[in-house]
Amino acid sequence: ADRRVGGFSLGMRQRLGIATALLGDPGVMILDEPANGLDPEGVRWLRELLRGLAGEGRAVLISSHILAEIAQTVDSVCIVDRGRLVTQSTLDALTASATRVVRVRSPRAQDLKVALAARGTASSSVAEDRLEVPGATTEEVGLLAAELGAPIFELTSDASSLEDVFFKLTNSGEPAEVAR
């Protein structure tokens, strides 16, 4: 009780700030980089706290550039670029609307590529036995392989992350240029 706040670690000061914000039992909380300085245990605590507050019907608004952490914490996302609202959506809808890539490994990958093209689906050869098929589902590619009698050794789907979506919506997927 007699320790000065200035002697606290960054993570402890962050927790103290959040505790102070909760003292008034607010219906709305606005937090800027709330996970900054927290250790992994503190991040988990924060995530559970914020979900609990939202579950009570409170509005919790978080500003952060740590998009992987945000994706584990929030239900809804607003993406703002240079002061302009780019999109507002649920996290699930936002990432589901982004392009998925199906990766397939088969000794008949080139036959699959031809069959996909005949159906109007673009694909790219990564290696002689590997394809990447953007915008397709594993079910579509798997069924087509079955129709062709093509054995499949690997069939995976990579969904876009919140970070992928952010870059796509704010600057066409290119890393931002650094002003010098």
Domain positions in the chain: 5-74, 97-160
pLDDT tens for each residue of 66-113: 998 999 999 999 999 989 999 999 998 888 777 678 999 999 999 999
Domains 5-74 and 97-160 share a fold: no
Is residue 60 predicted with pLDDT exceeding 90? yes
- Of 34-43, 113-122, 154-163, the poorest mean pLDDT is in 154-163
> Lowest-confidence range among 14-18, 27-31, 90-94, 149-153?
90-94
Angle, in degrees to the nearest 10, between helices 10-22 and 40-55: 10
Specify the pTM.
Answer: 0.65
Residue 27 is given by DSSP the state: S
Rounded Cα distance between 1 and 165, Å, is: 46
Phi, psi of 102 (to 5 degrees): -95, 130
Compute the distance between CA of residue 107 and CA of residue 120 in angstroms, rounded to an integer.
Answer: 22
Residues 6+ apart with CB under 8 A from 168: 98, 160
Look at residue 133 in the predicted model and tell me its pLDDT: 92
Q: Give the CATH fold of the 5-74 domain.
A: Rossmann fold (3.40.50)
Q: What pLDDT digit, counting tens, does each position of 100-137 carry? A: 789 999 999 999 999 999 999 988 888 999 999 988 88
pLDDT, mean over the chain = 88
Return the pLDDT at 180: 38
pLDDT at 22: 94
Per-residue pLDDT at 169: 87
Inter-CA distances, 142 with 15, 105, 108, Å: 49, 11, 13
Q: Which of 15-19, 143-147, 161-165 has the lowest mean pLDDT?
A: 161-165
Q: Is 76 helix (H, G, I), strand (E, B) or coil?
A: strand
Strand partners, 81: 84
The CATH T-level fold of domain 97-160 is Alpha-Beta Plaits (3.30.70)
Q: How many CB atoms lie within 10 A of CB 67?
A: 17
Compute the residue count for the chain.
180
How far is it, in rounded angstroms, from Cα 44 to Cα 58? 19
How many angstroms separate the CA atoms of 70 and 64, rounded?
A: 7
